[in-house]
Structure 1
Amino acid sequence: MSENRAPTNRLIHETSPYLLQHAHNPVDWYPWGEEALRRAKEEQKPILLSIGYSACHWCHVMERECFENPEIAAQMNRDFVNIKVDREERPDLDAIYMNAVVAMTGQGGWPLTVFLTPDGVPFFGGTYFPPEDRYGRPGFPRVLTAVAEAWRTRHAEIEAQSRLMLQELSRSLVPEEGVPMPLTPDLLEKAYRAFAESFDAAYGGFGGAPKFPQASGLEFLMRYYLLTKRVGALEMVEKTLQQMALGGLRDQLGGGFHRYSVDARWLVPHFEKMLYDNAQLIRVYLHAAQITGNALYRDVVADTCNYALREMRSPEGGFYSAQDADSEGEEGKYYVWRLEEVKAVLEENEAKLFCAFYDVTEAGNWEGRSILHVAMPLQQLAERFGITLEQAAERLASARAKLLAYRMQRVPPATDDKVLTAWNGLMLSALAESGAVLEERRFLEAAEGCGRFIEQHLTYRDAEGRLRLYHLFAKGHAKGVGLLEDYAFCIEGFLCLYEATLQEHWLALARELAKSTLSQFEDTESGGFFTTPPEQNDLIYRPMDWTDDALPSGNSVMSEVLQRLALLTGEAELREAALRTLRRMVPLMERYPTSFSRALCALCFYLSDPQEVALLGSKEALEDFLRVLRETYRPNLVLAQADTAEAANASGLALLEGKTLVEGRPTAYVCKNYACKAPTTEPMLLRQQLSSGQ
C-alpha cells in the first residue's frame, strides 16, 4: 500500500482511517451509499461488500494480497460493484451481514467478504480469502469467477434463494413472542453453571484458544457472587483476572490490554488494542478490587487508565477507537523484545532482574523474540536476587520506565483516530468510576472532559426538540446516525459521572437521552429496542441486537439503566420498558446463557431489591459518606444528592422528595422502594445500614 500514489477510487473523500487505507487500491471501491446501490440496480450487477476495521491484521493481509493486485482488482471491477465498509462506522450493517455469513458458513470474522444481490440481500460470503488456494481456503480469484458465473447463469435461482435468506435473517435471534416470561433466579443459576462448565481451571478464562477477555461474563459472575455468596463465581473471576494481568495479553510496559490471546495461557496476544476492551476491563478490575481488596487489580486499573489518557485521548477530550496490531508491516513488532535490546537499555544487574521476571531470553518465547509476561512471583524474584520486596518492585518500575521510553522511539502502530460515541460512553463510565473509587483526580477530570466532549460534539436537537446523538466524530466533524448502543452506553456513562461528581447536569443528560431512546428505538408492541432509528432506511431489515459479545448489547444495557433511572425519578414507564425488554430476552437467556451475561447483570439488579441512597449536604461535606459507598462494590444501589431540603424537593427526583438535613448536618437516607430507615449523620451508621440491608 503506497500513500504517495494518486488516488484511484472514491474512498479518498472519506474520514475513516480504514477506508482511507484503501483509497489507493486499484479496486473501484465505493463507500456504502446511494451511488453504489443505484449503480448495482441499474447494471444488475452483484455487490461485493468488504467489511473490516483499521486495527484488523487479516484485513491488512487481504488488502496486500488481493486488493492491491491489479489482476484481481480488474476482475472485481469487471464483474461487481465493490463497496468497502468500516464496521466501526456502521456496526448495524456489519451485524446484518455477519449474521448472514455465519448462517451460511458456520463462522464469521474480519475481513468480512459478502456477495449481495443488487437489492443488498446476501447470497454468498466468507471472511479472509488468500490470492490463491491455501490454508484450506479457495483463492479469491477462483471465488470471484465462481460467483460471477453463478450470477450470470443462475440469476433467478439466486434471487429466489436470497429472498428466503432475508426471511431467515430477519427472524434470526429475535425472541419469540408470546406469554411474558417470568424473571427468576433460575436464569442466573443456569448461567453460572454454563460458565463453570467452560471455565479453564488451569489458566482462567472460558473455553480454549483463542481466548477473549469476556468482560460482561466476568461482570455477571461478580454480580452473581454478591447476590448468592457462591465462592466459585468469584474464584473464576479472580483466576481469570490474575492470569490476564500477568500474561502477554496485558501490555506490561505501557498498560492496556490487547484484543485476545491466541493461546490458552494468555501469553501470545493478537496485538491490536481496542478502546472498548480496555474501557470494560477497567471496570471489571475496579469492581474486583472493591470486592477483594487485591492491590494488583487497583494497579491494573490505574495503568490502563493512564495508557488511555496517554495514547488514546484526543485534544478535544474524546477517545480514539483503536491501535493497530502491526507496525512496519509486522504484527507485534512494537511490543516484543530481543535480549540484546534489553541489555543495551538497562544496566547489567537491572537487565538480569527484568529478564528473569518478564521471561526475556535469547531464544525468546514467540518467533525468536520475547513477549513480556510475569514469569514468577515478586517474592521469588526478590529471594533469587537477595533483595527485599520493596527493592525488587522499585527496580522493576525503574526498568519498565526506561524500556517504555526506549520503545516509544520505535515506529508505533497506527492509531484509528475516529471517536466513536458508544465506545466513549464506555470509557466515560470507566474513568468516572475509577476516579471516584481510587480518588484519582486526573481520571475524574478526564471523565468530565469526555462527558463535555460527548455533549458538545456528539449531541444535537432534532426538529421535535429531542436530544439526539451522532455515531462518531472524525476529522473535526460529527457524522452518522446515532444507534442504540450510542444511547445506551452514553446514558450509563452519564449516570456514572453523576454518581462520581454529584453534578445534576449529568443526570439530566442521562434522563433526557433515555426519553429520546424510548421515542426512537423502542418496540412498543413486543418490548426491546431496535438497533437503528426509523430514519435509517438503507438496510434490508430493521435489526434488533440482543447478544452480549465483545460489546454488550444496547438492549442489555438499556434494561439496567432504565431500572436505575426509574428508581431515581419515580417514573414507572422507565421501569416498565426495562422489564419488557428483559422478559423478551428470557427464552434466549434460557438457551444461550453465556451469550446474555450483561442482560443477566440487569436481571441481578432486578432480583436484588436494590438499595436507594439519598444524601443531603454539600459535596465537600459528604466525602466520608461517599467513601463508605465506594469502599466495596455495590452494583445494586442507586445514589442521589442535593445540597439542601429545598434543592431536594426541586430536583424532580422521587428519591430526594421530602428529605431534609438532620440538625443541619450532612445526612444519609438508606431506602428500598422509597421506604427509608432512620436518617443518619454518621458514616459508620451508614455502613451498618447498608450491610444490614444486603
Structure 2
Amino acid sequence: MTNRLASSSSPYLRQHAENPVHWREWSDDAFAEARERDVPVLLSIGYAACHWCHVMAHESFEDPELAAQMNDGFVCIKVDREERPDLDAIYMAATVAMTGQGGWPMTCFLTPDGEPFYCGTYYPPVPRGGMPGFGQILAAISGTWTQRRDEVFEASASITEHLRANTGPLPPGPVLDDELTAAAVTTVLSEEDPRAAGFGGAPKFPPSALLEGLLRAAELGGPATAELAPSTLGAVERACVAMARGGIYDQLAGGFARYAVDPDWVIPHFEKMLYDNALLLRVYAHLARRTGDPLATRITAETVEFLDAALWTGQGYASSLDADTDGVEGLTYVWTPAQLREVLGDEDGAWAAELFTVTEPGTFENGTSTLQLLADPDDPQRFDAVRTRLLQARGARPQPDRDDKVVLSWNALTITALAEAGSTLDRPEWVERAAETAAALWDLHQVDGQWRRVSLGGRVGEPLAALDDHAAFATALLTLHQVTGEQLWCERALTILDRAVEDFTDPQAPGAWYDAPPGALITRPRDPVDGATPAGASLLAEALLLAGSLAPEAAAARYADLADQTLARAGLVLQKMPRSAGHWLAVALTRLAGPLQVAVAQDHSGDGSLATQVRRAAPGGTVVVAGERDSLPLLADRGQIDGADAAYLCRGHTCDLPVTTVTALPFG
C-alpha cells in the first residue's frame, strides 16, 4: 500500500510513499482536513540526501505503532526543503527561535492555520541520550491540544508575531565603496584557518561564493582593496588546494561532498549536492584561468566530468547523491589497505595506500579511510591506471541513491559555471551542454507564464519558482548570450527578469526583495545572507547588473537603477557578516569597477581569436560580447579597425579608445 506521496515530483517524498503514515503534501486540502478533524498538523521537512532524515524515517515513520499515533492525532504533511524553500525558511526560523538551533529532519507542530507552536528536529523512537522519544512527543502534543488549547494558541500567536517581525527589509547600509569592500576582505582574511585553510572550524563548508568574491577582489578592487590582492589570492589558492586534495573531494570520480565534519577537510559528509559543485566549478575555472594552475585546471575538468557522469538526467542535472549507501554513510567511498591490495595487488596497493593516505587505523570509521591526495603522484601514468582500477572496483559496490529532481536555480548556477568555464578554457563542449540544459529548462519549467521550481522525469512540479530561481536563470541566459552571441538568450533572460521584478519586489522598500512568490503563508520569507547558495537578492543584483549592460538602451537604464537600489541594501551584510556575503561582495566589486564591458567587433569570417583572448584575460564579472558592427547594443557604431578585430572597453559610461590586441587592454 502507498500513501498520497507516490506520485510526487520529489524523490524525497516518494521515499516515504510506503510509510504507514498517512502523509500528505502541503496543500489547502490538508489544512482543511485538520480543521474538520480538529487536530494539529505534524509537518516534517527534510531532503533526499539527508542521513538523519533516513534514520528518523526508518525508526519512526516505518513503525506501525508510531504511525498509528501520528495518523490518529494529526494531519501529517511531508515537505522536501529543496522543492519548497519558502516553507523551509519559515519553519526553520520558528525552530531556531524555539530551540536555539535547527537542522533536518525538521519536525514542527502547527495549528490548522499553519502557525507553529512546537518545533524540533530529529527525535528517536524511544527516549535516548536525554532526548524524549517520538511517541512521548506525540502524546504530549495531543494532550496539550486537547486539554490546554489556549496555551497552544498563545504559543503559536507569539512565535508567528516573532516571525513576521523578523522578515522586514534590510535598511540601507553604509555606502558601497572601496573602503567598505576592503574592510570586508580584511575581516574575512583575518578569519582564515592558518593551518588547514578555508574559514572556520568543524563542520567545515566549502566557502564557494566567498571564494568567487575574493577572486574578484584580487582583480577588480579599488586602491584599498587592491593592496590586499596578494593576500586575497593566496587565501583563495590555499582553500582550493586544501579542498581539492582532501577527503571532501572524490579523488577517483571527481565532485565535492557537501562539507567536511572535521576542520582539516579529511572526512566528508558524503552527500554530493549539485549547487556545491556548480559554485565550485565557477571558482576553480576562474582560478585556473587567472593563474594557469594545473591543479585548478584538473579539478575544473573533473568536476564537469562528475556532473555529466553522475548527475546528468537528459533534461537537466539531478539534485544530489545520497550520503548513505544501504543505510551506511560513506559505504561506497571508503577503503582499507587490504581492500586496496585486493584490487591492485601488493605493490600497487601499498603505493596507493601511501599516496591516498589510507592507513591501518583508518581516517574514518571502523578502520576505513577516505581518499586524500596530499601530493601529486611521482608517476602520473601509474596513478591513472591505479585510479581507473579502483574506480572500476568501486563501481561494483552498492551505490548511493540519486535525487533526480531538477531544481531550476541549481541548474542555472551550473549553466553559468559551464558557460564561463567552457568559453575561457577552450572547452566548447561545455558551452554546448550549458545551452542544452538551458533549452530543456526553458521548455519544461514554464507553465502558463509562470516558472516552476522543480521537475522530475520530464514532468514539471507544482511549486512555483522562487526569487533565486528567476535570478539565477536570468544570469545563466545572459551568460550564454555573451559566450554564444545568440540574441535569443538575452531576450529570454529579460523576460524572466521582468517577471522577477514584478513578482518579488517590495513596493514599500525599493531595492528589497521577497524570496518567495506571493501566497497564503503565515509570512513571506526573505533572507539577504548568502548561505550554501547565494541569497536570492544577491543573485538578482547580479542579473540586474548584467542586464544593465546587455539590454537595449531604454530598458538597460531601468535594470541598472534596480541593481544599484539592490546593492544599496548590501552594505550592512558586507559590514556585519562579510563571510556570509561572498556573492554580494562579487557583485559589489563588479559594480564598483564600472562594471567593465568589452565589446569585440569582428568579421563573421574571422577566427574570433581576439574575443577568446579577452574572455580569458578579463576579470571575473566583466561583460564580454563579440559580433559584427551593430549586431548588439554594445556594438552599436563599433566596427573593426583597419580590417582587424577591435576591442572596445568601457567602465560604466566611460570608454577607452579601441585596441586590436589583448595586451593593449589594462588587464591583458
TM-score normalised according to structure 2 size: 0.94
Shift of 1:216: 1.2
User: Aligned partner of 2:460: which letter?
Assistant: A
For 1:633 and 1:376, locate their aligned partners in 2 and report how far apart those are by CA, in whole Å.
31
- Partner residue, 1:350: 348
- Partner residue, 1:341: 339
- Contact kept? 2:246, 2:371, Cα under 8 Å: yes
Shift of 1:620: 6.6
SS at match of 2:135: helix
- Partner residue, 1:567: 549
For 2:383 and 2:652, locate their aligned partners in 1 and report how far apart those are by CA, in whole Å.
51
For 2:349 and 2:433, locate their aligned partners in 1 and report how far apart those are by CA, in whole Å.
35
Shift of the 92–630 alpha-carbon distance from structure 1 to 2, 3 Å rule, reads: same
For 1:196 and 1:675, locate their aligned partners in 2 and report how far apart those are by CA, in whole Å.
32
Shift of 1:71: 1.8
- Contact kept? 1:175, 1:588, Cα under 8 Å: no
- Partner residue, 2:76: 82
User: Aligned partner of 1:634: which letter?
Assistant: P
Shift of 1:293: 2.1
SS at match of 1:29: coil
Shift of the 96–619 alpha-carbon distance from structure 1 to 2, 3 Å rule, reads: farther
SS at match of 1:157: helix
Shift of 1:415: 0.6
Q: Is residue 120 of structure 1 aligned with residue 96 of structure 2? A: no
Q: Is residue 478 of structure 1 aligned with residue 460 of structure 2? A: yes
- Contact kept? 1:287, 1:633, Cα under 8 Å: no
Find the partner of 2:41 among 33, 44, 47. 47
- Partner residue, 2:199: 206
User: Aligned partner of 1:202: which letter?
Assistant: R
Q: Is residue 27 of structure 1 aligned with residue 21 of structure 2? A: yes
- Contact kept? 1:260, 1:269, Cα under 8 Å: yes
SS at match of 1:371: coil
Deviations 1:206-242 (A, max 9, x none): 1111101021121222222221231222222121111
Deviations 1:77-131 (A, max 9, x none): 1221111001111111111111111111111111111111111011111111111
For 1:66 and 1:506, locate their aligned partners in 2 and report how far apart those are by CA, in whole Å.
48
- Partner residue, 2:514: 530
For 1:180 and 1:591, locate their aligned partners in 2 and report how far apart those are by CA, in whole Å.
10
SS at match of 1:31: coil
User: Aligned partner of 1:324: which letter?
Assistant: D
- Contact kept? 1:564, 1:638, Cα under 8 Å: yes
Q: Is residue 603 of structure 1 aligned with residue 582 of structure 2? A: no
SS at match of 2:397: coil
**Which is further off, 219-228 or 13-22?**
219-228
For 2:389 and 2:231, locate their aligned partners in 1 and report how far apart those are by CA, in whole Å.
40
**Which is further off, 101-110 or 245-254?**
101-110
- Contact kept? 2:170, 2:512, Cα under 8 Å: no
- Contact kept? 1:356, 1:375, Cα under 8 Å: no
Shift of the 546–254 alpha-carbon distance from structure 1 to 2, 3 Å rule, reads: same
- Partner residue, 2:270: 271
Shift of the 420–257 alpha-carbon distance from structure 1 to 2, 3 Å rule, reads: same
- Partner residue, 1:626: 611
SS at match of 1:125: strand
SS at match of 1:691: coil
Shift of the 225–174 alpha-carbon distance from structure 1 to 2, 3 Å rule, reads: farther
For 1:182 and 1:143, locate their aligned partners in 2 and report how far apart those are by CA, in whole Å.
49
For 1:632 and 1:356, locate their aligned partners in 2 and report how far apart those are by CA, in whole Å.
39
Q: Is residue 189 of structure 1 aligned with residue 171 of structure 2? A: no
Q: 5+ unaligned residues in a row in structure 2: which ranges?
A: none
- Contact kept? 1:608, 1:636, Cα under 8 Å: no
- Partner residue, 2:138: 144
For 2:34 and 2:663, locate their aligned partners in 1 and report how far apart those are by CA, in whole Å.
66
**Which is further off, 269-278 or 566-575?**
566-575
Shift of 1:619: 6.2
- Contact kept? 2:26, 2:79, Cα under 8 Å: yes
User: Aligned partner of 1:454: which letter?
Assistant: L
- Partner residue, 2:658: 679
- Partner residue, 1:64: 58
SS at match of 1:351: helix
For 2:604 and 2:90, locate their aligned partners in 1 and report how far apart those are by CA, in whole Å.
47
User: Aligned partner of 2:472: which letter?
Assistant: F
- Contact kept? 2:192, 2:198, Cα under 8 Å: yes
Shift of 1:151: 2.0
For 1:660 and 1:94, locate their aligned partners in 2 and report how far apart those are by CA, in whole Å.
52
- Partner residue, 1:495: 478
Q: Which has the higher contact order (CA 8 A, sep 6+)?
A: 2
Shift of the 475–376 alpha-carbon distance from structure 1 to 2, 3 Å rule, reads: closer
User: Aligned partner of 2:493: which letter?
Assistant: A
Shift of the 276–529 alpha-carbon distance from structure 1 to 2, 3 Å rule, reads: same
SS at match of 1:12: coil
TM-score normalised according to structure 1 size: 0.91
SS at match of 1:110: coil
Shift of 1:176: 4.6
For 2:280 and 2:28, locate their aligned partners in 1 and report how far apart those are by CA, in whole Å.
39
Shift of 1:484: 0.8
Counting only pairs closer than 5 Å after superposition, residues 431-450 of structure 1 correspond to structure 2 as 431-450=418-437
Shift of 1:66: 1.0
User: Aligned partner of 1:508: which letter?
Assistant: E
Counting only pairs closer than 5 Å after superposition, residues 318-397 of structure 1 correspond to structure 2 as 318-374=316-372, 376-378=374-376, 382=378, 392-397=379-384
SS at match of 2:468: helix
Find the partner of 1:135 among 129, 146, 163. 129
For 2:361 and 2:210, locate their aligned partners in 1 and report how far apart those are by CA, in whole Å.
36
- Partner residue, 1:457: 444
Shift of 1:290: 2.3
User: Aligned partner of 1:398: which letter?
Assistant: A
For 1:635 and 1:12, locate their aligned partners in 2 and report how far apart those are by CA, in whole Å.
45
**Which is further off, 238-247 or 666-675?**
666-675
Counting only pairs closer than 5 Å after superposition, residues 158-197 of structure 1 correspond to structure 2 as 158-172=152-166, 174-177=168-171, 181-197=174-190
SS at match of 1:123: strand
Identical-residue share of aligned pairs (%): 37
- Contact kept? 1:267, 1:371, Cα under 8 Å: no
Find the partner of 2:407 among 412, 417, 420. 420
- Contact kept? 1:190, 1:590, Cα under 8 Å: yes
- Partner residue, 1:3: none
For 2:604 and 2:401, locate their aligned partners in 1 and report how far apart those are by CA, in whole Å.
42
Q: CA RMSD in A?
A: 2.0
SS at match of 2:667: helix
Deviations 1:19-45 (A, max 9, x none): 111111111111111221111122231
Shift of 1:247: 0.7
User: Aligned partner of 2:658: which letter?
Assistant: P
SS at match of 1:669: strand
Q: Is residue 508 of structure 1 aligned with residue 506 of structure 2? A: no
